[in-house]
Amino acid sequence: MAARIDMSKIWLLMFGPVIVLVISIIGLFAMQTSVPVYQETFRPQYHFSPPEKWMNDPNGLVYFDGEYHLFYQYHPYDVIWGPMHWGHAVSTDLVHWENLPIALEPDDNGTIFSGSAVIDVNNTAGFGANAMVAIYSYNTQTQGVAYSTDRGRTWTKYAGNPIMPALATPDFRDPKVFWHEESGQWVMVIAAGREAQFYTSPNLLDWTFASSFAAGHIVATWEVPDIFPLDIDGETKWVLLVSVGAYAPAGGSGIQYFIGDFDGSTFTNDNPTGTTLWLDYGADNYAGTTWNDEPNGERIYIGWLNNWTYANNIPTSTWRGATTLPRTLRLVNTAEGVRLAQAPVAALESLRTPLGTWDDLTISSTEQVIDGVAGRTLEIIAEIEPSSAERWGLKVQRSDETGTRIVYSPARSSLLIGRGDTTSAGPIYSFSPAFGAPLELNGDTLRLHIFVDESSVEVFAQDGLVTLTAQTFVEPPANGLSFFADNGDITVKHLEVYALDSIWSAPE
């Protein structure tokens, strides 16, 4: 008799591995989707981030009809950089955001790189009075236009795109456009290699070269320029921001700025020759720009909270990328000259729950944990009087094993951030563990305003004259706060700590 064939065993041998693989994939998918959106590990709770996938530069910042519009570089199909679209969100207070559908998608001219948006009140372009007009770069380094007549909800590409060829190679991109009232024309500042170029237009479509400008840090390619007026002591000065792709103070990407005058065609720099001023001395504030038409006459800035050195490698899962806090900019006089200062927008105070207030704490040669303070989303206001300690500061996102240190070094006259560069998944490739800003106290109190989120720390020192922005991938449940002084003591004259609510309390 022939041997009986056990078909069940043959079936298992043939298809068993496939079944195991399918079950594994289903299990992995279930694990990834079991955590609600905006509650994933390291997900920012009061900084803007898209519901999923990749984001980088903020784009098209404009206020219209009661809404702040935030467009941004977006790759909707992966968590690493890819074919760029414009994502879109709106807010009435710059704190709580409503996600909207993608605004601009790639077309026959290319993918959609960075740019700006304006409200064409007088219909100079012919798209309709009060049309919202986006001016942006294609990946080919040509420039395009799109417009919306329904408050940015739907968009039409201009039939004559591109409106400008690639006038500089290989880099000619990121136009910032605004209406210059004094000269009665539209002005564009655009990055062209290692300089900024200015163009003028009567109608947003036909542009004439006006001038170029280069100074400061010209080692790396310039990107995402912005120019705007600010008043100081009854005088109007103009501030020019320029992002640089490499060799910034903390390594990798950063933003320099210039203070001077602008007549609608030419920028004149007041910075002394050889002076380079930096908007932020942290590693993670790049490609930032400001809102056009801010209703209160303020200049509000927001940046990409990342660094191109490691942007594709940060340990996030379903999304990758976030923005800095929106910041109000102002000019202040210092012993070194006029400088730019920054403050978090006041509307963030709506998120506060007080955790405590302390005065005259003495920290002596050891670490002192602040009892009753625990949280992954904190706002900290501290005034610290230095004395005999060699180094001193505080630790946030603290546990016995880990944390992020904010350190003042009298010997170096520097304010520093020390962060871990390894998670349970291993080292973060090219993630710089420490960096700092020059800061002479000269006997003054160190005034700190610190914002701690799930994966970032933003430090505003000396009323925002010095800022440090950093991603910090300290894993939960590390959530404490402590102060320390090395070989000496300090006095914490005043301390306030608040827990900050999530802006994503309702499911997206």
Catalytic residue ranges: 57
- Residue 215 burial (CB count, 10 A): 19
327-331-334-336 Cα dihedral, nearest 10 degrees: 100
The single residue listed with the structure tokens 């007080």 is 354
The single residue listed with the structure tokens 């006029």 is 338
CA separation for the pair 506, 462 (Å, rounded): 36
**Residue 228 near residue 164 (C-beta atoms within 8 A):** no
Q: Which of 83, 175, 86 is nearest to 136 (CA)?
A: 175
CA separation for the pair 269, 280 (Å, rounded): 20
Q: Please give the backbone phi and psi of residue 304, each rounded to the nearest 5 degrees, phi first.
A: -85, 125
By three-state DSSP, how is residue 347 classified? Answer: helix
**Residue 252 near residue 283 (C-beta atoms within 8 A):** yes
**Residue 208 near residue 199 (C-beta atoms within 8 A):** yes
By three-state DSSP, how is residue 333 classified? Answer: strand
CA separation for the pair 302, 348 (Å, rounded): 14
Q: Please give the backbone phi and psi of residue 375, each rounded to the nearest 5 degrees, phi first.
A: 170, 150
DSSP states along 211-236: EEE--S--SS-EEEEEEEEEEETTEE
14-18-19-21 Cα dihedral, nearest 10 degrees: 150
The single residue listed with the structure tokens 């500061």 is 393
Q: Are strands 112-120 and 98-104 parallel, antiparallel or unpaired?
A: unpaired
CA separation for the pair 97, 44 (Å, rounded): 13
**Residue 163 near residue 182 (C-beta atoms within 8 A):** no
Task: Give the angle subtended at the CA of 248 by the CAs of 439 and 283, to the nearest 5°.
Answer: 75
Strand residue runs (E) in 310-433: 319-320, 327-334, 337-344, 352-364, 367-369, 378-385, 391-398, 404-409, 414-418, 422-423, 426-427
Residues 6+ apart with CB under 8 A from 30: none
The single residue listed with the structure tokens 């490691």 is 310
Find the DSSP H helices in 236-343.
none
